[in-house]
Chain A
Amino acid sequence: MPLSFPFTEVKSVTRWSNYSGTIGPRAVPVYCTPDVMGVAGMDAPRKLRRHGAALEAILNHVWSTPGATLRAIGSRWSFSSIIQPGDVVVDPANLDTLLEVKPEWLNEEYRRGRFEQGFVPVFAQGGTQIASINRRLLDVGLALQTSGAGDGHRLAGCLATGTHGSALRIGAVHDTVLALHLIIAPQDSVFLQPERAACGPEVAAWLARETGIPTRSVQDDKLFAAAQVGLGALGFVHGVVLETAPLYALRGRILARPFADAEVWKTLDDLETSRLHPDVQERPYHFEVVFHPYPSNGRPGAFVRMFWKVSARDVAHDSPLPVAPDLASDTMGLIGKLTGLVDGALPTLVLRAVIGDQLSKRFVPGDKAPALPGMVWGPTSLPPGHGTSTEVVVDQRRAHRALELLFDILRTHADKGEHLLGAVATRFIPKTRALLGMNQSDMSCFIELPSIRNSEVEGIYRDFWDALEKDGVPFTCHWGQTHGMNPKRLTTYFGPNVERWKAARDELLSSAEAKRVFQSAILGEVGLL
């Protein structure tokens, strides 16, 4: 008899893969999408009650099936095994409720502080896509403080992988989370906050009433710091409370400089961006540098992108249109364009021109009119099935050395006819409290190497990771991207946080069944089991 769960479409998928094609195709025997059609009528349960009933029944099934695991699937952008599905998958596409937390349910300290400054806690279900959050927040005059380089992520996926942007003073998405609602067993959930909590106990009580799943209010710094970047392995992220900001716009500027530009490299060393914008006193809100992997003399090879936060008044309130897979708006989208242009092996000389042409078209120098955050970080144009990427994270003070090692490796491989078919992007964000957040240093530098996927690129990535280790540069890799992490490297970078995260997992998921159900392949790869 086929499986059935309340308010849920259940199907068996014979071929499934992630967006880039690095995982699968493989079968997913039980693929569950709660609340596909919704339910109308006077007696219909409310939306969150439907979701609670669905998740409770699905979890009951996985709990009682020996060896079964459960993965929630986000937008499937991840390249790593963090997205590897097990026997049962939950697609949370319809878990997309957004609600402002009632001011009277906020703690006094938060209400008199951040709330009075205009920051508003918003409850968002884990399946909500960033693009949808941007659109709906815009309607009420609010905005996310940061997001990733695109807007296609789902919120729970951002928290599982540590998704970040380039906001110099904010951090990553997980650094704007005030609370998480984790379902950790069929009839057990926690509303988890740090000890200086923003929300009062009313929110946990409301969640219990609405979902029908008992919800404990827990205020614990260690558990919260573990769950901020939970790798999808600390329970089902039903929802989070995000701290949103009053709606703002971003005024942009792009510089196209030679690869060896002394000002650019000096700025990577000290993050004193003022030398790049002498006419603007204020430090930019976002700052990133994208390098040509095979620069040539006399041509632009370092593209600086900066955004300043400005008033949203008089800025057109519009959200971006969908884009065809070859019309890119984000760095990763460069692959999209190159996919259509590069077919087979090309000599460095030709490739240098192709990549240079694409970068110059994408990063046209000059001042850019203010745009809302949801318009700046728009849809990806990455074509499915072709891409790969790794992102290495180091202390900003080691960024220069890490880049020297990288460009040596790129040159060595190019001499053998092996190329990175993409670009080198560098971004910087401040320290997190999240135990496994990649931004562990006072300022962390993220070096991203998106590329068209081939075996040569994998070799370049491997050599980069090995060179960093050999040179004594502690590093980690983006949880959602191709990674070179192992237990030793993880401990070198995260130190005692590794054991703290494992202890938090033991505390949150106290039974063997819970650990088995929420287990993820990536935990075994990096020594987190």
Chain B
Amino acid sequence: MSNNRMQALSLVAAVSSACGGSQVRLVSPDTTPGSRYTCQPGEGAVCQPATTDVPEDLDPSGTVFVILPRECKGKVHQIVVLDAGSSHPRVDATCAPQAEPVEGMTSSYPSAAPPATAPTSRAPTSRESE
């Protein structure tokens, strides 16, 4: 779960810098907030635990709000924001398979449903009409 969250925030950070300060907020359905990280773009980038935690800082006026695919069940492999600097950005999200731990062979194997197919995209809900 944490790895997925790190990936998502990393991409948001990249998007924020790419579009000159405007922000895109990507939220995964059916999840609850956990620990937060700050990530820098680049090869082999490392995410660090966030050292500031002021909710208002992450919600400036004009933030574009995007709901990620419910089908990912909170596990996202990759998110690409297309036309990030525009007033109508689009999101291409790739789910990660819901990998199950190794289990013994039983009559109920496999116990998990097949992973959701990817990618899934959804038009953003923006706050620009305010």
Are both chains from one complex? yes
Interface positions, chain B 53-104, Cβ under 8 Å from A, are: 53-56, 58-59, 63, 65, 67, 70, 101
Among the listed B33, B49, B125, which residue makes an inter-chain contact with A324, where contact means beta carbons less than 8 Å apart? B125
Among the listed B27, B32, B127, which residue makes an inter-chain contact with A131, where contact means beta carbons less than 8 Å apart? B32
Q: Which of B27, B29, B55, B59 has the most CB of A within 10 A?
A: B55
Among the listed B30, B51, B70, which residue makes an inter-chain contact with A13, where contact means beta carbons less than 8 Å apart? B51
CB contact under 8 A between A14 and B51, given known A91-B35, A322-B29: yes
Please determine whether B49 and A9 come into contact, CB atoms closer than 8 angstroms: yes
Among the listed A9, A19, A75, A319, which residue makes an inter-chain contact with B35, where contact means beta carbons less than 8 Å apart? A9
Please determine whether B56 and A384 come into contact, CB atoms closer than 8 angstroms: yes
Interface positions, chain A 2-33, Cβ under 8 Å from B, are: 9, 11-19, 21, 24-25, 28, 31, 33
Please determine whether A96 and B32 come into contact, CB atoms closer than 8 angstroms: yes
* Chain B residue at smallest Cβ distance from A130: B32
Interface positions, chain A 321-340, Cβ under 8 Å from B, are: 321-322, 324-327, 340
Q: Give A28 to B63 CA distance when docked, in angstroms.
A: 27
B17 lies within 8 A of chain A by Cβ: no
Please determine whether A12 and B58 come into contact, CB atoms closer than 8 angstroms: no
Q: Give A93 to B32 CA distance when docked, in angstroms.
A: 8
Please determine whether A11 and B49 come into contact, CB atoms closer than 8 angstroms: yes
Please determine whether A17 and B53 come into contact, CB atoms closer than 8 angstroms: yes
Please determine whether A325 and B59 come into contact, CB atoms closer than 8 angstroms: yes
A348 lies within 8 A of chain B by Cβ: no
A137 to chain B, nearest CB (A): 14
B13 to chain A, nearest CB (A): 18
Please determine whether B55 and A385 come into contact, CB atoms closer than 8 angstroms: yes
Please determine whether B29 and A321 come into contact, CB atoms closer than 8 angstroms: yes
Please determine whether B34 and A326 come into contact, CB atoms closer than 8 angstroms: no
* Chain B residue at smallest Cβ distance from A339: B130
Please count how many residues in chain B sit with their CB below 8 Å of the partner chain's CB atoms: 27
CB contact under 8 A between A33 and B35, given known A11-B49, A324-B125, A326-B127: yes
CB contact under 8 A between A36 and B35, given known A13-B53, A324-B65: yes
A362 lies within 8 A of chain B by Cβ: no
A383 lies within 8 A of chain B by Cβ: yes
Among the listed A75, A132, A340, which residue makes an inter-chain contact with B127, where contact means beta carbons less than 8 Å apart? A340
Please determine whether B125 and A327 come into contact, CB atoms closer than 8 angstroms: yes
Chain A residues with CB under 8 A of B51: 11-14
Among the listed B27, B56, B130, which residue makes an inter-chain contact with A322, where contact means beta carbons less than 8 Å apart? B27
A76 lies within 8 A of chain B by Cβ: yes
A257 lies within 8 A of chain B by Cβ: no
CB contact under 8 A between A385 and B59, given known A91-B35, A131-B32: yes
Q: Give A340 to B65 CA distance when docked, in angstroms.
A: 15
Among the listed A18, A37, A325, A385, which residue makes an inter-chain contact with B65, where contact means beta carbons less than 8 Å apart? A325
B117 lies within 8 A of chain A by Cβ: no
Chain A residues with CB under 8 A of B49: 9, 11
Please count how many residues in chain A sit with their CB below 8 Å of the partner chain's CB atoms: 42
Interface positions, chain A 346-387, Cβ under 8 Å from B, are: 383-386
Q: Give A19 to B51 CA distance when docked, in angstroms.
A: 16
* Chain A residue at smallest Cβ distance from B26: A322
Please determine whether B33 and A93 come into contact, CB atoms closer than 8 angstroms: yes
Please determine whether B127 and A319 come into contact, CB atoms closer than 8 angstroms: no
Please determine whether A94 and B54 come into contact, CB atoms closer than 8 angstroms: no
Chain A residues with CB under 8 A of B101: 40
B52 lies within 8 A of chain A by Cβ: yes
A129 lies within 8 A of chain B by Cβ: yes
Chain B residues with CB under 8 A of A12: 51
Q: Give A419 to B27 CA distance when docked, in angstroms.
A: 34
A516 lies within 8 A of chain B by Cβ: no
Chain A residues with CB under 8 A of B30: 135, 319
Please determine whether A16 and B35 come into contact, CB atoms closer than 8 angstroms: no
Please determine whether B55 and A36 come into contact, CB atoms closer than 8 angstroms: no
Please determine whether A37 and B52 come into contact, CB atoms closer than 8 angstroms: no
Please determine whether B55 and A76 come into contact, CB atoms closer than 8 angstroms: yes
* Chain A residue at smallest Cβ distance from B101: A40
A499 to chain B, nearest CB (A): 38
Chain A residues with CB under 8 A of B65: 324-325
Q: Give A73 to B63 CA distance when docked, in angstroms.
A: 26
Chain B residues with CB under 8 A of A131: 32
Chain B residues with CB under 8 A of A31: 53
Please determine whether B67 and A321 come into contact, CB atoms closer than 8 angstroms: yes
Q: Give A9 to B34 CA distance when docked, in angstroms.
A: 12
Please determine whether A21 and B67 come into contact, CB atoms closer than 8 angstroms: no
Please determine whether A383 and B27 come into contact, CB atoms closer than 8 angstroms: no
Give me 28 A-to-B residue pairs in the complex whose CB atoms sit less than 8 angstroms apart, sorted by A's number: A12-B51, A13-B50, A15-B52, A16-B53, A17-B53, A17-B56, A24-B54, A25-B54, A31-B53, A33-B34, A36-B34, A37-B2, A40-B101, A76-B55, A93-B33, A129-B33, A135-B30, A319-B29, A322-B28, A322-B67, A324-B65, A325-B59, A325-B63, A325-B127, A327-B125, A340-B127, A384-B59, A386-B56
Please list the residues of chain A having a beta carbon within 8 angstroms of any beta carbon in chain B.
9, 11-19, 21, 24-25, 28, 31, 33, 36-37, 40, 75-76, 91, 93-94, 96, 129, 131-132, 135, 319, 321-322, 324-327, 340-341, 383-386
Top 6 nearest A-B pairs by Cβ distance?
Answer: A385-B56, A384-B55, A324-B65, A340-B130, A322-B27, A129-B32
